[in-house]
Amino acid sequence: MHLYLVGEIIGYVGRFLSTNDIEGYSLENIKFYIIQFTLLTICPNFFNAAVYSQYGRFLYVYGTSKEKINEFNVFGKKLQPTLMSFILIFIDFLCIFIQGAGGNILREADSKTQFDIGNGVYIGGIALQCFSMTCFTFLFTKLMYNIHVKQRLVFIRERDVFHIYGEDLRSYSPVGTFFLPWKWPRVIRSISLQELAQYTSNDQPTTIPIEVLSNTQANMFKIYPIVLLIAFAFAILRCFYRLFEIAIGGWGGYLMTHEAFLIGLDFVPMSIGAVITVIFSEGIVFGKIGLKVAKRVKFEHYDNRSPRKRLAYDLKQMFSSYDDTIVTPVIKPTDEKVSFKVSRDHF
């Protein structure tokens, strides 16, 4: 995130300095233009990388055992969070490479055919990045659904306790409700994660110990997933703006030559996203103890493997057909809600 912030500041300063007589192609202005173009293209990828890492963070915060992690993970055991983040970051920088290749073809083009090829390659790089960012948004939303909605529905359905938590929940499919987000709050209010924790076989908590958080941290912890998605939505908006800027307007087109679009669809969205992620930084939201818990769960999930061996483990899991995960939930025979009091209610 620090690389992103510093790079964006330098990039926009370069943009400002390059606006003076840029059509005159003075050497000084060309250098400033190259600086701003390079940094404003590359640095947002560091922002994306910071957001991509939060998928695994949430998985280790809520999935306090290996079984829960594999249950919550969108891809189960096949694609672990470390490898997923690596793939997404690799795609982001692959997009930069493709854009660079397209830019190089454009620079060397001496015919309309070569220009069109370079332009198509450049647009393809941006389009691929828009696609990968949209896919991550879907995956992160599905992760939050698995944690906050699906596990509640599965629990109520398996125990057949609709008479306790609401007969209307019978029509809520654990799979189909994902596509009905307006129904999610009803499910979340039906039973707390603390109650669910009482029915696990080993009394594992369902999240970090919220009682160690301050009131402010607890409130931030509740809305952090939504806030993170909002910040990332601004980054997606900026990426699609860059796509339309070249694909529709073209080089030297209306969108590229009018600063209002750059400010409103690039500078403002990325600035808002940066402010949001700084205010809701994981150190503030989770606290030291929360981060330590997540780190411990991560190490236990990987059986204390080193970072290099974790990647090898993830690759092995991806191509392995053997499932060694054994989930043995224990359901206590009671038809009453569990009384479980904590200092602050949370999701």
Query: Residue 342: helix, strand or coil by DSSP?
Result: coil
pLDDT at 133: 93
pLDDT at 174: 92
pLDDT at 172: 93
Please give the structure tokens belonging to residue 8. 């964006």
pLDDT at 303: 74
Q: What is the pTM of this model?
A: 0.81
What is the rounded distance in angstroms from the CA atom of residue 240 to the CA atom of residue 243? Answer: 5
Q: Are 35 and 11 in contact (CB under 8 A)?
A: yes
What is the rounded distance in angstroms from the CA atom of residue 304 to the CA atom of residue 20? Answer: 56
Ordered per-residue pLDDT tens for the chain, 347 residues: 677 888 778 877 877 776 665 455 444 566 777 777 778 778 888 888 888 988 888 888 887 677 888 888 898 888 888 888 888 889 988 998 998 888 888 878 788 888 888 889 989 999 999 999 999 999 999 999 998 899 899 988 988 889 888 899 999 999 999 999 999 999 998 888 777 766 654 545 555 556 666 777 778 888 889 999 999 999 999 999 988 888 887 777 787 777 788 888 888 998 898 889 888 888 888 777 777 777 777 777 777 777 777 777 777 777 776 554 434 444 444 444 433 333 334 34
- Cα angle for residues 199, 224, 241 (degrees, 5° grid): 135
| R_g over Cα of the chain | 24
What is the rounded distance in angstroms from the CA atom of residue 346 to the CA atom of residue 344? Answer: 6
The set of residues, in sequence order, having a beta carbon less than 8 Å from that of 191 and lying 6+ positions away, is: 152, 155, 156, 165, 337
Q: How many separate helices (H) and strands (E) can be counted in the chain?
A: 16, 0
